[in-house]
Amino acid sequence: MPTGSMTRTQPRASDGLPVMASSPGYLIRRAQQVHVSLWQKHIKQNLTSVQYGVLLVLGQRSAIDQTSVAELMSLDKNTAADVLRRLRNRAVVARERDPADGRRWLTQLTDEGMSMLLHAAPAVLEVQDRILDPLSADEAETVLRLLRAVAYRGDPPNVASGAAPKTTAPGWPPRLAALQLHTAPGHLVRRSQQLHTLLWTEEVSADLTSVQYSVLLVLHRESSTDQGALGRHAHLDKATGTEVVSRMQDRGLINRVRDETDGRRYRLSLSAKGLKVLRAHADGVQTVQRRLMEPLSRAERRTFVSLMTKVVSAAED
């Protein structure tokens, strides 16, 4: 752990508000969006990244219980149960009672599951490689190390029994033997994003999301804009932007009026209440960034922001 305290993880603008582009939490959210976009483009097996992670965990281990799957994948109990149920319905995993404890269920891959795992693996590796494409080999190694420190706050978790993952499995191609969750940028970004959400709830608000705060910040800096431009500035797809704007308008945080020069468009602006909320939570937002980066030294924090900016900027270009 680094020594000393940190009062600022990111600079503030002249108005005293955070600079979104250099916020670690914002960069992690953007990297998560990059990963999702690449996954949808390259993975053709109708398989989410979380589902593939579960298959990977099971493929590299003997039968394990749901609690161990949840711990290794950084999933809450209900989400882990839902993912495993969906995979059982597709007959790619199966479960049976633990012979040593009849109250516990053990899950393992079926032959179909192993086949799906192996067939999807090359495309998964392609996704992981493309995320890091903007970086040199040394930079990629550095950002993975820093992401791992942020995501895990220590060593990656192991199976509750202490069993180490297997490095090979029947039919497992040599290049894929090293595919591990704690070295996969997509998994590390997702886990870091989960941590950011948890810290945000603790330090800022359970009712105001980080995305909504970003929208308030954009509208404050842009004064008045339309929904399309807002989406581009805050990096929201059309459906998400529409939902976020609707919720914030209902709460009186933003104003929405028809554009006088184009009746088909609406202009968005920050309301007085929205400005008050924006300023009231500025310190909390800074605290989230500080806590998120706590495992890193000052120099490592600067490196993290620099390298993650390269990753997301390349995707934007």
Domain ranges of the chain: 32-194, 196-298
Whether the domain at 32-194 and the domain at 196-298 fall into the same CATH topology: yes
pLDDT confidence of residue 3: 39
Phi-psi region of 46 (alpha: psi -120 to 50; beta: other; left: phi over 0): left
> Do 258 and 266 form a contact (C-beta atoms < 8 A)?
yes
Q: Which helix (H) or strand (E) holds 21?
A: none
| Secondary structure (3-state) at 27 | helix
Alpha helices for 132-259 (secondary structure H)? 137-152, 185-203, 210-222, 227-234, 238-250
pLDDT confidence of residue 172: 60
pLDDT confidence of residue 104: 85
Phi, psi of 14 (to 5 degrees): -65, -20
Q: Model confidence over 187-241: pLDDT tens digits? A: 999 999 999 999 999 999 999 999 999 999 999 988 778 888 898 889 998 899 9
Pairing of strands 64-65, 101-109: antiparallel
> Do 121 and 52 form a contact (C-beta atoms < 8 A)?
no
pLDDT confidence of residue 102: 74
pLDDT confidence of residue 44: 87
Is CATH 1.20.990.10 correct for 196-298? no
pLDDT confidence of residue 4: 40
Report helix angle 210-222 to 238-250, nearest 10.
80
Phi, psi of 259 (to 5 degrees): -70, 125
Burial 145-179 (b: 16+ CB within 10 A, else e): bbbbbbbbeeebeebeeeeebeeebeebeeebeeb
pLDDT confidence of residue 167: 47
Q: What is the pTM of this model?
A: 0.86
> Do 199 and 292 form a contact (C-beta atoms < 8 A)?
yes
Taking the C-alpha atoms of residue 77 and residue 70, their distance in angstroms, rounded to an integer, is: 6
Phi, psi of 79 (to 5 degrees): -65, -40
- At position 122, the amino acid (one-letter code) is P
Collect the ranges in the chain with pLDDT lower than 70: 1-14, 157-178, 263, 317
CB atoms within 10 A of CB 129: 12
CATH of 32-194, one of 1.10.8.10, 3.40.640.10, 3.30.70.100, 1.10.10.10: 1.10.10.10
CB atoms within 10 A of CB 40: 12
Q: Which two tokens stand for residue 19?
A: 């600079």
Taking the C-alpha atoms of residue 136 and residue 207, their distance in angstroms, rounded to an integer, is: 40
pLDDT confidence of residue 7: 43
- Provide CB contacts within 8 A for 209, sequence distance 6+: 200
